[in-house]
Amino acid sequence: MKDFKLGLALSGGGFRASLFHIGVLARLAELNVLRSVEVLSTVSGGSIVGALYYLHLKRLLESKTDSQITAADYVGIVHSIQTSFLDGVRTNVRVRAYANYLKNWRMIFKRSYSRSDRMAELYNGTFYDPVARHIPSIGHDNVLMKELLVHPMGGPTNFSPLKHNARRNAKVPMLIINATTLNTGRNWQFTAVSMGEREPKKGTTDFDKNLFLDAFTYKDFEGEEFRNTPREKYDRVPLSVAVAASACVPGIFRPLPLTDLYPNVVPKLVDGGVQDNQGVTSILYENCTHVIVSDASGQLDDQAKPKSALLFAVWRTKGILEDRVRDLELESVVAYDHDESTRALLHLREDLDVQRLKPGDSVKENDKIDDGVTNYGILRKAQRRLSNIRTDLDAFTDVEAFSLMQSGYNMASSIPRGFIKAKSKTKKSADILFPGWTFERIKAYADGTRRSAKYLRHLDIAAEQFFKIYSFESRFVRTVLKFGTILFWLAVLAGLVAESVFVESALATFLMDTVALEQIFAHIISAAISAWLLVIVGSVIVSLFSFVHLKTVNKWFLWRGRLEAL
């Protein structure tokens, strides 16, 4: 182990996490901490923004020598990301995944192409291609994982972070994009050199007897023997596919299969958060002595009277298991080194009060205990609401996005000063303030300088999964709009079913003969054709609705969530 090795973990949590991480990165850049990061571990939403940051960092490290790089360069990277990433988020990636009817048909008729592949394409076009094509060592769209290898300007031709980082002020970090193997339950890592399951720690194989899928390098499939074979593709694994695997939420996106690696095993990858939503296991595995965890994942909500119905109890149990895994991951950081000066755990409920009840006491509403401002300068009532914002991949308004960024920025400012000084081996300024952060336009509302009931109401709406736009209206208008939407979709469904029944009846009449067996076959054939027509027509309707949603509801939602609305 080295005397000092800094690891930064960016948790999962959809775009909520991505936006929070941007605020953390902004302050770490100002504090001149980012230049010292040697391991960057990302999960799900953290992977989406972490991969974008790494592309910008690669461009910087390959365009300037170590002595030329300053803290201002890192600030410039994050400043660029805060604008471009939010622009991408505003396009509503989740709905765009359904808006192209040709892509929808491809998902229906081609089993090797799923919604997860479509998300990878959108990540590429929205976030990564605009940067990758301007990096001289890449210069094209659809960047590959192996192309993330950094060859720093002025460094040796055989540069290796493990060998040469000690001599540098601006470290070349190792990027680890974490997913989960559905087959074995293990952590699957994508790096610029290799992919596969992380080697088990010594001693863990005594009790962990699951199948292990060895990591392999992309170079393993560069030989001529792999040309024009199914396994040739593993020489060219796209960055966007790694990110899509890391953010492949089970139940929403289909697991990403890795075909042709083994004769009788098909590894299927899902969200890295299933195994470790904080990304800290990879940090500790790389023997980092100092750890920063930016954790914007979901945390278990308190319930005074949990519902006893079967489905509610099962769902609540799932949440408890996820929260327990989170606690264990963060406890592992604390147990790894008991010195608080070597770790910084940043999370969305930092400095919020915990209620403790004795028999006979009544639980209080959060708004009655969340008085004042946190020790990092955010209204406690606002911070509580930020921790409840949806973990989704849809559009986020300026109020939502800027509030998350401001929270992350303020929280990162509370990193112990000794922790920062320990990492600053450069004589250049270790603490600068950049006056151009766009998200600081929300600061007066977030810290309570400007009181606004609309601000807290907007953060309440941000927690809703459906019908968010309607919540900005009065209760009467909201009820009418929701009722009208439900009636509309019931009418669409009824129309599709009626069309299916009509088509089946017409085909059966056309195909039937006098023999009973032939009538049965005619009904089966007509039902199958009708079902396919139902799927095809339904996919067109979904794409049409998605297109209209992007052009109307999405813009309406963003307009209602602009800062001027406060």
Span 181-206, average pLDDT: 88
Q: Is the pLDDT of residue 438 over 50?
A: yes
Please, which residues have CB within 8 angstroms of residue 110's CB and are 6 or more apart in sequence? Answer: none
How much is the CA Rg of the chain, to the nearest whole Å? 26
Query: Quick one: pLDDT at residue 501?
Result: 61
Reported as a pLDDT band with limits 50, 70 and 90, residue 503 is low
The first and second tokens of residue 441, run together, are: 């336009």
With beta carbons less than 8 A apart as the criterion, state whether 278 and 295 touch: yes
pLDDT per position as a tens digit, 55-69: 999 999 999 999 999
Closest CA to 547 of 228, 224, 103: 103
What is the pLDDT of the chain when averaged over all its residues?
88
The DSSP string of 140-171 is SSS-BGGGG----TTS-TT--HHHHGGG-SS-
Calpha distance 559→536 (Å, rounded): 34
% residues pLDDT > 70 (the chain): 88
CB-neighbour burial class of residue 304 (10 A; exposed 0-12, middle 13-18, buried 19+)? exposed
Place of tokens 């993330």: 148
Span 362-388, average pLDDT: 92
DSSP 8-state symbol, 305: S
CB-neighbour burial class of residue 428 (10 A; exposed 0-12, middle 13-18, buried 19+)? middle
Q: Is the pLDDT of residue 553 over 80?
A: yes
Amino acid at 384: R
Query: Quick one: pLDDT at residue 92?
Result: 95
Q: Is the pLDDT of residue 161 over 70?
A: yes
With beta carbons less than 8 A apart as the criterion, state whether 176 and 191 touch: yes
pLDDT per position as a tens digit, 391-429: 999 999 999 999 999 999 999 988 866 566 544 444 444
Calpha distance 166→248 (Å, rounded): 36
Q: Name which of 12-21, 109-118, 129-138, 436-445 the model is least confident about.
A: 109-118
> In terms of pTM, does the model score above 0.85?
yes
Span 151-159, average pLDDT: 92
Calpha distance 83→66 (Å, rounded): 27
Reported as a pLDDT band with limits 50, 70 and 90, residue 339 is confident
Span 124-143, average pLDDT: 94
Backbone dihedral region of 361: left (phi > 0), alpha (psi from -120 to 50 degrees) or beta? beta
Query: Quick one: pLDDT at residue 425?
Result: 47
Calpha distance 34→9 (Å, rounded): 12
133 phi, psi to nearest 5 deg: -70, -10
Query: Quick one: pLDDT at residue 427?
Result: 44
